[in-house]
Amino acid sequence: MAKKKIGVAIIGSGSIATYRHAPEYAAHPNVEIIAFVDPVIERAEKLAKKYDAKAFRSHEEVLQLKNVDAVSVCTPNVYHAPITIEALKAGKHVLCEKPMATSDKEAREMIKAAEKAGKFLMIGHNQRLAPLHIKAKQLIKEGVIGKVITFKTSFCHPGPESWSIEGPTGWFFDKKKAFVGSMGDLGVHKADLLRWLLGEEIVEVAAMVDHLEKPMGDVDDNAVCILRTESGAIGTLTASWTHYPGEDNATYVYGTLGQIRIGTDPRFSVIVHLKNKEKQFYEVGALQTNEEGGQSDSGVIRAFVESILTNTPPEINGEEGRRALAIILACLKSSETKKFEKVEI
């Protein structure tokens, strides 16, 4: 028997909706895109025309539609929590972009709303779904490099102005709408990845988070953070919007028996180099990028839809999103206090 088609509305019609959510939903055989929402109605209309859907200025009207089963929240960061909570109360499953909220309080309210509504809340942390990271996690879990001692991860590119639909005057650079800059755009991805990849929590941080170079906006464009895990491993997380040119999206994990390099080689995306001089090379695909040709399937939409179809809670649920956010909040606090800060998990 054919599976029921899930009716989806995409709230926010900017670049993340245009290049990730809309095409991935459209490619899924069990999804029908019902509506696009954007206060700049022309953006919603453009996508609605392309995907044979309807365009709306306001999400409130869309949440009343009975044929909408689920929504993607692709708005500026400050609207993630309120719109998500409204959607859950309206009986819709929600896939919310990251960072899920602007505070721990908001994140917890989102989680409670999902529990009360009996609906799924998933956060769009796609890095843990990438095949190279799945392979690396498997190798770490199997003990190939022994006990993890240190690590370092970076997510750096030239900034969102060339990719965002609004360009250099867009919400990414406005603290009132974005809450944070490079740490919300990039750092939170790596915070989620590290927790998942290492299989343990980050419990303490020290960080410098600053606006160093961008001529526009009032949010951070660079961050360098030191992290300690619950087992005592230490490492660094770097997020930057001033990586000219190209991207750095690599992760290194060092253990008692050797090391794993992830995303450092264009062909072999996972490389193991052991203490005994043995080397292992794995071709498991490259990470997505915002550059030309880098818009492959993120896996997020497929995972979200499968959760709904099978009535199985998503792995990347609200609590997972909250814990990644907690690392970012602790780093922001550390940058202000100039002290080590505990992560509120």
> pLDDT tens digits, residue range 29-63?
999 999 999 999 999 999 999 999 999 999 999 99
Residue 18's region, left for phi above 0, alpha for psi from -120 to 50, else beta, is alpha
Contact present, 344 and 330 (Cβ < 8 Å): yes
Nearest CA-CA partner of 165 in 318, 24, 36, 328: 36
Q: What is the pLDDT of residue 50?
A: 98
pLDDT score, position 293:
46
Alpha-carbon dihedral of residues 289, 295, 298, 300, nearest 10 degrees?
Answer: 110
Q: Which residue has the tokens 């202000």?
A: 336
What is the model's pLDDT at position 345?
87
- CB-based contacts of 121, cutoff 8 Å, min separation 6: 84, 88, 93, 94, 96, 110, 111, 113, 114, 314, 317, 318
Other residues' Cβ atoms within 10 Å of the Cβ of residue 109:
17
Q: What is the block-wise mean pLDDT of the chain (345 residues), using blocks of 10 residues?
A: 83 97 98 98 98 98 98 98 98 98 98 98 98 98 98 98 96 98 98 98 98 97 98 98 97 98 97 98 83 67 98 98 98 98 95
65-102: b (≥16 Cβ within 10 Å) or e: beebbbbbbbbbbbbbbbbbbbbbebebbbbbbbbbbb
Q: Which residue do the tokens 């794995």 mark? A: 282
Q: Which domains does the chain possess?
A: 6-126+298-316 (3.40.50.720), 127-290+325-342 (3.30.360.10)
What DSSP letter does each residue of 91-114 carry, written as one string? T-EEEEPSS--SSHHHHHHHHHHH
Neighbouring CB atoms inside 10 A of 290's CB total 15
> Can you tell me the distance from the alpha carbon of 281 to that of 342, in angstroms, rounded to the nearest whole number?
37
Quote the pLDDT of residue 297.
Answer: 83
CB 67 within 8 A of CB 7: yes
| Confidence at residue 187, expressed as pLDDT on a 0 to 100 scale | 98
